[in-house]
Amino acid sequence: MISGRLFRPFQWLGKLTPAAITSVYLFSSLCWILIATFTMDRLLAGRPELRALAETVFELLGVFSMGLIVYILISISQARHRASEARIREQAARDGLTTLFNRQAFDEFLLQSVEYAKRHRETFALLFLDLDRFKVINDRRGHFVGDLLLQEVGRRLTETCARRGEDVVARVGGDEFAVLLRQSEAPEGPSVVAQRILDSLAEPYMLDGNAINTSASLGIALYPADSDEAMQLFKMADIALNQAKQQGRSTFCFYGGEWREERDQRLYLEQGLLRAITHGELFLVYQPKLDTGAMRVIGVEALVRWNHPHLGVLGALSFVPLAEKAGLIWTLTEWVLKAACRQAGEWYRDAGLDINVAVNMSPSVFGHPDLEQAIQTALHDGGLPPDRLTLEITEESLMIYEAESLEVLERLHRMGINVQIDDFGTGYSSLASLKHYHFQALKIDKSFVRDVVTSSDDAAIATTIMFMAKCLDMEAIAEGVESEAQKEFLASIDCRFMQGYYFARPLAASEVTAYIARLGVQKKPD
């Protein structure tokens, strides 16, 4: 403390370069010598005994001054060294892009938190999250925009968690982030903080002059309820994150031991999915779309099934989300395109049936750079005219790609491909896309059709979608029709095109031919 006060007047030396300090020292020494010589020559001339004493005093003062300066310089050098080490440690603990803590630093914080919680019998929560569709945005907009997005996500996370003060925020992977809530039992507990984070990250991002929308999924693991080991706790949070994605993304889930069996089942299916695609275990069924005014089939929707060697026939919901997660969705979609076009081509050539076949496109596939080439190949190999193929895309595709989606739609239009918006009304459509591109049809989601007779809200929504489609010169197709009452209501609002179990369940190709024979279908022009 005394030393700090003593040398405080000399702290300005710490701002000088070594060369400047050396120059100051040499200049001070020269001045000292000149002053000493002048003083002794003028004041002590003729008094040799005092001159000798003065020379001794001046020498002692010189030695003391030099020692003092050397001590100050060593102290400054040590301070600089400690500051440099601190900066190096800080930089090593930080992510270079977002300036958040990195994975290594977060693991250390997690270990320390476990030890502290054990000693003090406290609890804490680990939140693990990643961005939904980040790879799609990164591929479509470029790595520069992707980096800007990650930086903004880091800023929002820091800002959101700053209210609590003791939380640790880190970037632990490409688009993966983790948050350590050290006071998980506080009023603002894990669920409150998790929802606040999701709401913050769901706000639009203005990056490089463009508005980008994304969201996040989040998993939560609790200490010690889920695990009392740091790395195991991280695994639990990861499992909870995957559960959140399965529940539709943009949400959060707590870890629960009851998911372990489900997790094992999921891993088992993921490992077998590639084999299914390459070894003929997949097949298509087709659900007819009807013009109820004339009661004739106008097309079919192709739906993929998996004939699993041990689990039997699995519906799309059992494995399509897994294909997304495992990076197999593009391979799966290519297979569906080829199989659907091949079957529709056979109907068109051999039976003379003018059947339009629809294939569902996930947002990640809709933005794939090889989409047009894959469609052209499927049409050519199947011998199917382009206007007999329909792609059903979701509103999410329009939201993610925005301006790029219009370019893709225009290229598909030039190819002669029909495009419909699937599950219309459940997402956040870009009205600009509806304005600038003429979709063939809007499909009224089955969640509105299910209660359209008993719910005035659903009835109003269905009526509004029907009215919007008419104003935009598009068709409207109601899906999920299961009763006569639903059919009659839809007919009353002038919705002619429908599909659902009331008319037919998904059928095998041979059953489709028989079904059409009973109802009739438009013949292809000669």
Express each pLDDT in 36-45 by its tens digit: 666 666 655 5
> For residue 514, what pLDDT is reported?
87
**Nearest-angstrom CA–CA distance, 359 and 393:** 9
In the structure encoding, which two tokens stand for residue 187, read together?
A: 């009023």
Q: Which helix (H) or strand (E) holds 473?
A: none
> For residue 368, what pLDDT is reported?
81
**Nearest-angstrom CA–CA distance, 260 and 255:** 10
**Nearest-angstrom CA–CA distance, 418 and 398:** 16
- pLDDT grade for 155, boundaries at 50, 70 and 90: very high
Per-residue DSSP letters for 116-127? HHHHHT--EEEE
How many percent of the chain have pLDDT more than 70?
73
Q: Which of 210-214, 299-303, 429-433 has the least mean pLDDT?
A: 429-433
Of the ranges 58-67, 132-141, 149-158, the best mean pLDDT one: 149-158
Q: Which of 90-104, 229-243, 253-267 has the least mean pLDDT?
A: 253-267
Whether 526 shows a pLDDT value over 70: the answer reads no
- The pLDDT tens digits for 402-433 are 556 677 888 888 899 999 988 776 655 545 56
| Nearest residue to 453 via CA among 414, 484, 427 | 484
**Cis before 363? omega within 30:** no
**Nearest-angstrom CA–CA distance, 31 and 36:** 8
> For residue 52, what pLDDT is reported?
65
Half-sphere exposure of 188 (CA within 13 A, CB side): 15
Average pLDDT, the chain: 81
- pLDDT grade for 219, boundaries at 50, 70 and 90: very high
CATH number of 280-519: 3.20.20.450
Whether 206 shows a pLDDT value over 80: the answer reads yes
> For residue 1, what pLDDT is reported?
44
What is the pTM assigned to this prediction?
0.56
> For residue 2, what pLDDT is reported?
43
> For residue 40, what pLDDT is reported?
61
Cα separations (Å) of 106 from 50, 127, 289, 447? 70, 12, 54, 43
**Nearest-angstrom CA–CA distance, 261 and 264:** 5
Please answer whether residues 354 and 524 qualify as being in contact, where contact means their C-beta atoms are separated by less than 8 angstroms.
Answer: yes
CATH number of 103-257: 3.30.70.270
Cα separations (Å) of 298 from 355, 390, 462, 471? 6, 12, 21, 22
**Nearest-angstrom CA–CA distance, 496 and 469:** 12
Q: Where are the domains of the chain?
A: 2-93, 103-257, 280-519
> For residue 226, what pLDDT is reported?
85
Contacts of 118 (CB under 8 A, 6+ apart): 228
In the structure encoding, which two tokens stand for residue 97, read together?
A: 């892009």
> For residue 225, what pLDDT is reported?
84
Order of strands across the sheet that contains 124-132: 168-171, 176-181, 124-132, 215-223, 252-254
Q: Which of 125-139, 281-295, 406-420, 428-442 has the least mean pLDDT?
A: 428-442
Q: Which of 210-214, 234-238, 342-346 has the least mean pLDDT?
A: 210-214
- The pLDDT tens digits for 336-354 are 999 999 999 999 888 778 8
The pLDDT of 159-175, averaged and rounded, is 82
| Nearest residue to 272 via CA among 308, 242, 243, 305 | 308
The pLDDT of 273-302, averaged and rounded, is 91
> For residue 490, what pLDDT is reported?
94
**Nearest-angstrom CA–CA distance, 419 and 417:** 7
CA 436 to chain centre: 28
- pLDDT grade for 366, boundaries at 50, 70 and 90: confident
Contacts of 264 (CB under 8 A, 6+ apart): none
Whether 179 shows a pLDDT value over 70: the answer reads yes
Of the ranges 298-312, 355-369, 396-410, the best mean pLDDT one: 298-312
- DSSP letter (8 states) at residue 94: B
